[in-house]
Amino acid sequence: MTADRSVLQSNYPPGDLAIWIFILAELTVFAVFFAAYAFTRLQHVELFNEYQLTLDREAALINTLALITSSYFVVRAVSAIKVDDRRRCVHWLLAAISMGLLFLIVKTFEYVHHYSEGINLSSNTFYMFYLSLTFFHFMHVIMGMVILAAIAVMAARGKYSRQEHTGIESGASYWHMVDLVWLILFPLVYVMR
Amino acid sequence: MKRLSELLGIRPCTLIYLLLISFSLTTFLVAKMGFSGLGLSLMVLFLALIKGQLVGSYFMGLGRVRGIWRWPVFIWLFIPGILIGMAFYLSYP
């Protein structure tokens, strides 16, 4: 887990407080998006139900498993640095990045498929929400991977240790936020009808 | 959760990971088998909120933080969860 004994005695979450302000701002934006999707669907229930069936649920499941696995790998990376195992920390981070890459590849295939069928933001209200919500999240995955890559490089260079690993915890928290958003997005857009 | 993971001989984070995978597969199977309806939609939403809380408490480490910082993920899940649930409830005649 990212929490340890020091966190037990703290009033603050793991990582830098600034990243948590950023995370809360991001989560708020996604919450507004989710509520907008749900209440817009209320006006177009049949349209949303019809076009939801055109989405690739297998791809969405693979992406869900990829992000959950990636988050787990990040937890293991944080645990590794807490026992000064830098080598293992870097390996876990690289494994997490590879899962993020898998997510991007699968999602890109989905977008290419939709594009080849002539689907775009103006096709209908459902696709407008689906494409904008998932692409907004897609950009966050890229951002998260850049952060994970940066902390992997820093960890490999010995910048983190058992005593000082705030940077890794901050990056880990951001990545978990990316996972957290997808955990709601997946059932909302792909499953609930 | 710690006791259960000790009983199973796995790390607590591994137990959480396996729970998250199981809940995701359940959600997928609900969709794959073509089930629909208000009850199932709300069940899928509830599973998603539980998954989110597990990530917040155990992966993000908020479960061991005291004070207001323990609650942001819970609140984030609770408010959109209520709104989404309400919107789906209203969409059924």
Please give chain A's pLDDT, 193 residues, in tens: 554 444 455 888 999 999 999 999 999 999 999 999 999 999 999 999 999 999 999 999 999 999 999 999 999 999 999 999 999 999 999 999 999 999 999 999 999 999 999 999 999 999 999 999 999 999 999 999 999 999 999 999 999 999 999 999 999 999 999 999 999 999 999 999 8
Q: Where are the alpha helices (DSSP H) in chain B?
A: 2-8, 12-32, 38-54, 72-91
Q: Which of B14, B24, B76 sits opposite A65 (nearest CB)?
A: B24
Q: Using the beta-carbon criterion (under 8 Å), do A11 and B66 form an inter-chain contact?
A: yes
List the domain range (segments joined by +) for residue B67.
Answer: 2-91
Average pLDDT, chain B: 93
Q: Using the beta-carbon criterion (under 8 Å), do A187 and B48 form an inter-chain contact?
A: yes
Tally the domains of chain B: 1
Q: Computed over its alpha carbons, how large is the radius of gyration of chain A?
A: 18
Q: Look up the ipTM and state it.
A: 0.94
**Chosen from B19, B64, B71 to mutate, greatest number of chain A CBs within 10 A:** B64
Assigned domain for A5 exists? no
Residues 40-69 in B contacting A (C-alpha not used; CB under 8 Å): 41, 44-45, 47-49, 51-52, 55-56, 58-67, 69
**Tell me, what CATH number does A135's domain have?**
1.20.120.80
Q: pLDDT band at B5, cuts 50/70/90? A: confident
Work out the percent of chain B whose per-residue pLDDT is above 90. Answer: 75
pLDDT tens figures, B61-85? 999 899 899 999 999 999 999 999 9
Q: Using the beta-carbon criterion (under 8 Å), do B83 and A34 form an inter-chain contact?
A: yes
Tally the domains of chain A: 1
- Identity of the residue numbered A60: A
Assigned domain for A6 exists? no
Nearest CA distance, B15 vs chain A (angstrom): 10
- Cβ contacts from A onto B, under 8 A: 144
Residue A10's pLDDT is what?
Answer: 81
Residue B36's pLDDT is what?
Answer: 78
List the domain range (segments joined by +) for residue A63.
Answer: 14-191
